[in-house]
Amino acid sequence: MGILRLSHVDVTVTDLDLASAYYTEVIGMVLVERTADSVYLKCWDEADHHSLRLTYAPRVGFDLMSFKVERDDDLSQLENAVARYGLPVRRLSRGDSVGQGESIRFETPSGHTMELVHDVRRLGSSLPRVNPQPFLYRPGGDGGLPGIAPPRMDHVLVTAEEVGESTQFYADVLGFRVTEQLLDGHGHQVGTWMERSHSPHDLAVVSGPNGGLHHFAYWLDDWDHVRDAADILAYNGISVDVGPTRHGITRGSTIYFFDPLGTRNEVFTGGYRPDPDFPMITWTEDNAGRAIFYYEGELNDRFMKVHT
Amino acid sequence: MGILRLSHVDVTVTDLDLASAYYTEVIGMVLVERTADSVYLKCWDEADHHSLRLTYAPRVGFDLMSFKVERDDDLSQLENAVARYGLPVRRLSRGDSVGQGESIRFETPSGHTMELVHDVRRLGSSLPRVNPQPFLYRPGGDGGLPGIAPPRMDHVLVTAEEVGESTQFYADVLGFRVTEQLLDGHGHQVGTWMERSHSPHDLAVVSGPNGGLHHFAYWLDDWDHVRDAADILAYNGISVDVGPTRHGITRGSTIYFFDPLGTRNEVFTGGYRPDPDFPMITWTEDNAGRAIFYYEGELNDRFMKVHT
Amino acid sequence: MGILRLSHVDVTVTDLDLASAYYTEVIGMVLVERTADSVYLKCWDEADHHSLRLTYAPRVGFDLMSFKVERDDDLSQLENAVARYGLPVRRLSRGDSVGQGESIRFETPSGHTMELVHDVRRLGSSLPRVNPQPFLYRPGGDGGLPGIAPPRMDHVLVTAEEVGESTQFYADVLGFRVTEQLLDGHGHQVGTWMERSHSPHDLAVVSGPNGGLHHFAYWLDDWDHVRDAADILAYNGISVDVGPTRHGITRGSTIYFFDPLGTRNEVFTGGYRPDPDFPMITWTEDNAGRAIFYYEGELNDRFMKVHT
Amino acid sequence: MGILRLSHVDVTVTDLDLASAYYTEVIGMVLVERTADSVYLKCWDEADHHSLRLTYAPRVGFDLMSFKVERDDDLSQLENAVARYGLPVRRLSRGDSVGQGESIRFETPSGHTMELVHDVRRLGSSLPRVNPQPFLYRPGGDGGLPGIAPPRMDHVLVTAEEVGESTQFYADVLGFRVTEQLLDGHGHQVGTWMERSHSPHDLAVVSGPNGGLHHFAYWLDDWDHVRDAADILAYNGISVDVGPTRHGITRGSTIYFFDPLGTRNEVFTGGYRPDPDFPMITWTEDNAGRAIFYYEGELNDRFMKVHT
């Protein structure tokens, strides 16, 4: 009941062909559909229509983050909850968006356009549902997936001027559960990590301008796939931003890097599996370095300052 | 809302000291409490009082499987649902069980004693909740954990004469979601895998005598920890039953082995992360070998016949 | 000075097309050359002409094992040494064998045809020698290598009636260094592992009929590649013989399996890196199970009895 | 015949207790012997007396690098070769150095004191030579090794004003084989990697002041142990210099970090296994970034400038 997980991230790109080539050839997503101004992509283990939409625009930006709800009822209930909170909610009809039916949209206190959707076209993953092999076979010689080929999208991290207030909205109104928080010296939240899918985070908010996208992340199955991802990124001339390294927060292993147009991507693996009774973890300011990059023990400027 | 996960497995052992030594020294669980006839153990990343209870008895057996529910309300609602299904339900009071408060118990159609509990004493995991390191440091020289030291218990697999009927109870009455099913040549279920915690399975049922325990399983974080577990088992003279190998069902990597008194244990890792909209996977009889042991492609007698 | 490593293994197959398909598509070797009755293959990180020759014959068999010597002088010196030992030596001229120049051949006391060669045609590996990437990029979408794609051949294990006598020849006459030995209850060698390339073994001999081939083995870079190999074998319907498991002897991780015509293959990784001052390891009969299969702790009949 | 491998590295430290604590507790070496001014340490899989000597001195420095030769004869032959090259050679007697007998010492053209030794006291590794388990069991609860516990020392990287000239000496006079070279824009060597033990490098030279030590490196068995090492370093408050990352040169995976007194350490794994017929790899100036740090694609100042 309620939100299940991140459904798709919609970003704008200044070169649709270049972006499309990168997300298919280097990341290894499946190109699902292409319209006049947009490309829709999914990962091989995702059953829904798409998890990434790229739209041409004169500048790189973050259109919206869409989350999938479990039942049709959830949509109405969350619509009411958001309205009660005082935010205007817009309902989109079937046909308004590619690959999905009705949805609701609203601007969150962190200045982001958020979409909730239940009715998503089901394409199925790249594996059969009857007697599937337990991995994606990627032969070198024919039509397998190139690149990193992550099984699925994992989470999105956005920026907000008031992390505490934003988090309260996501938690109280939308039902996100806070797994970890990073506090400044005055005890105010400067970062929060929230989940719905029993993973360390589906959505995180850190201090920054309202409406900003810090990165979206792909799931990988283990640390060896992190190495393989690094190999493939370097082979394709994509320099890493940070990593391979490990987060204190989430315990996850990670690489950050930028797509050719400047949007930050992450590959992520590991971490615990929190149920709703997971006791929230707190990080204090003096441990902020280890919290974010456990191995380096410090943050770098680019990681703190650059977002879209 | 509803069942969160496996809370604890209660088994009987014919030698409490030997069992206790094995589960602390070879498995690497934390001994939480010892009473006259029982030992209570937890894994290092578990916050609840215990996930395994060993009780002395003249023969090795399976007392019960206990699942934790999210809220106190869930206990009453599930109590009513089980009663409506026609099964007698017994309510235990605070003080009846070590480490937990009120709970309900009933015998399931598969002949197993099942317990549901919400009020569990919270001991906390072995990591602090403020600025924790993202792994368990296990120094060789002092009080770290010996053995495999899995972070947590993962699931239980039981046997039933009527897998289909049992599964229907677990699904319809208790809200388990079936992720995978194995069908015989007539299309009848001979194995089902069910989850509540967004993992491939918290509970599974395969054909066999009512009331049987095939194994309970510990989570490991990756394939390299599976190798380490195999090393440690062999070093301690524990011969493996099957593995390291991989399941077609769940996609997980695994080793099966027996504790010194004859109860089968598993270490398990990998697999997908199913949300409630996960499309069920079906395996047909002709693929039963690959379904269970993907590498071997066939089942062995011991695996099929031996349970407690 | 002296023998460097295994150069190539020559086996006969009863179906050249099937064998060729298996070694290119499932193993992922590069097909270098095909003649009327033979196929020559190499691994992607090997610079020499071939490491496997498949020749059509009415029955599956083991033609010879060829080892490369460091210098041309070594060939004459070893020729003399073998002759002094009393074995007839045949010298082959350039043109007698595909992909190589002069070589010597003789039948060893273990009943195997052994070839020594220095002059081998150098084709280069699949990576450039200037600014190479540190891994083989295997895109899904074009002409990468399918299958397991091991970087190189590693070792060969043969059978002999008199392991001790055979070993003495390999050690004293050809300069192999014994890294490990397995003794029976009377202290006689029933298995020996010998190296020239500073790896745990380039050649091993175990008890069995003279002239037999137990298996030849491919190197993999780590335990995760062992899992990937198991995935690919199972996906291709190749059932494993034993493994994934670990050897006590060599410390290596391993899978054994059969090519479609019945010759046993192995993928192997890990182990120590012995210099010539490596102190030999001894295994006693009561530990033979752990010596060979550390996790299982026991040998199986098929492993002991089947060879070509 | 000739040099086998790196025998030991002798460095000076300004705090012998602190250094000793770090190399035993964080690195996880075995403390073999302590004299008035020095501590001798070995790794658990090394059979020789020590691979690291720490000596108290008012400033951190690099005393010498010692290489082990295969036979006693090799010592005389190399002594003559060095003398013929025109360098003064000093012969040390038994008793002059702890843990070893006769040795020779000389200052190389790169300004380093180099020692060659054959007669080293054999202590044996931490595993038995009869029926050893294939790994070091490190129980948490008793006397296992803490820290990273690398199995052995791997290589040393030194700095020299004239890399080409230095390399020629190491190659022509001492028999090192160059596996890789990095050229500047004029085609001059600014880095060379050389081996004797059939590994990517036992000794490397890069541009810098004569006599400098850039780092010495420990071997780890795989990429997962690299992660574990990073975990343990961070847990102990040791911030990484660079990594986990990968080298283009050697293909190895790596972390660089500093001991508490300022000497750079590395943990290293992977790479190929070169025989003497290995075709040398060349890197050009425009690929220097990828050559050293394949993932980052660029060098950092600290890595280039800091050495001891």
Phi, psi of D268 (to 5 degrees): -140, 140
* C172 alpha-carbon distance from chain centroid: 21
With CB atoms and an 8 Å threshold, state whether A244 touches D240: no
Mean predicted lDDT score pLDDT of chain C:
95
d(CA C44, CA C62): 23
Closest CB to C234: pick one of B237, B244, B297.
B297
Q: Are A43 and A51 in contact (CB under 8 A)?
A: yes
For the four alpha carbons of A180, A181, A182 and A186, in that order, the dihedral sign comes to: negative
Chain C, nearest residue to D153 by Cα: C273
Fold designation for A152-304: 2,3-Dihydroxybiphenyl 1,2-Dioxygenase; domain 1 (3.10.180)
How far apart CA D263 and CA D250 sit, in angstroms, is 22
Contact B205, B167 (CB under 8 A): yes
**HSE (CB half, 13 Å, CA atoms) of A301?**
0
Please answer yes or no on whether D144 and B143 come within 8 Å at the CB atom.
no
Higher pLDDT, C187 or A145: C187
Matching CATH topology for D3-117 and D152-304? yes
Q: How far apart are the C-alpha atoms of A184 and A186, rounded to whole Å?
A: 5
> What is the DSSP track for D216-255?
EEEE-SSHHHHHHHHHHHHHTT--EEEEEEE-STT--EEE
For chain A, what are the domain ranges?
3-117, 152-304
Q: Over 70: is that where the pLDDT of D255 sits?
A: yes
DSSP type of residue D286? G
Q: What confidence category does residue B5 fall into, taking pLDDT thresholds of 50, 70 and 90?
A: very high
Q: Where in the sequence numbering do the catalytic residues of B fall?
A: 155, 201, 215, 247, 256, 266
Q: Given this model, what pLDDT does residue B299 score?
A: 84
* A118, two tokens: 């239940």
More confident residue, C144 or B134: B134
Q: Quick one: average pLDDT of B93-115?
A: 97
Chain A touched by D287 (CB under 8 Å): no
Asked whether the beta carbons of B23 and B43 are under 8 A apart, the reply is: no
Active-site entry in A46, A50, A266, A307: A266
Element at C43 (helix H, strand E): none
Helix runs in C95-242, H state only: 163-168, 223-235
| Chain C residue whose CA is closest to A29 | C140
Cis ω before A244 (30° cut-off from 0): yes
User: What value does the mean pLDDT of chain A take?
Assistant: 95
CA distance D275 to D200: 10
Query: ipTM of the assembly?
Result: 0.95
The shortest CB-CB distance from A141 to any of C134, C144, C224 is to C144
**Fold adopted by A3-117:** 2,3-Dihydroxybiphenyl 1,2-Dioxygenase; domain 1 (3.10.180)
| Rounded Cα–Cα distance for residues C174 and A266 (Å) | 54
Q: Which residues contact A92 (CB under 8 A, 6 or more apart)?
A: A102, A103, A104, A105, A115
Tokens (6 digits) for C261? 């015509």
Annotated active-site residue in A8, A49, A50, A247? A247
Residue C25 in contact with partner chain A when CB distance is under 8 A: yes
Identify all chain B residues contacting A134, using CB atoms and an 8 Å cutoff: 246-248, 250-252, 294
Q: Which of A112, A155, A214, A225 is catalytic?
A: A155
- pLDDT, one tens digit per residue, over A8-21 is 999 999 999 999 99
In this predicted model, what pLDDT tens digit does every residue of A78-110 receive, in sequence order?
999 999 999 999 999 999 999 999 999 999 999
Is pLDDT above 90 for A308?
A: no
What local confidence, expressed as pLDDT, does residue D140 receive? 58
Q: What is the mean pLDDT of residues C251-279?
A: 97
Q: Which residue of B has its CA nearest to A151?
A: B272
| Contacts D224 to A, Cβ<8 Å | 223-224
Q: Is A186 a catalytic residue?
A: no
pLDDT (average), residues A153-168: 98
Separation of alpha carbons A9 and B38, rounded Å: 52
State yes or no: pLDDT of C274 exceeds 90: yes
Q: Which run of H or of E encompasses D19?
A: helix D16-21
Kindly give the residue spans of alpha helices, DSSP state H, lying in chain C.
Answer: 16-21, 72-85, 163-168, 223-235, 288-292, 301-305
Please report the sign of the dihedral spanned by the C-alpha atoms of residue D261, residue D263, residue D264, residue D270: negative
Nearest to C144 among A140, A149, A231 (CB): A140
Residue D154 binned pLDDT confidence (cut-offs 50, 70, 90): very high
DSSP B306: -
D244 contacts A244? CB cut-off 8 A: yes
pLDDT digits (tens, 9 = 90+) for B32-85: 999 999 999 999 999 999 999 999 999 999 999 999 999 999 999 999 999 999
pLDDT of B141 higher than 80: no
- Model confidence at B298, pLDDT cuts 50, 70, 90, reads confident
Burial of D60 (0-12, 13-18, 19+ CB in 10 A): middle
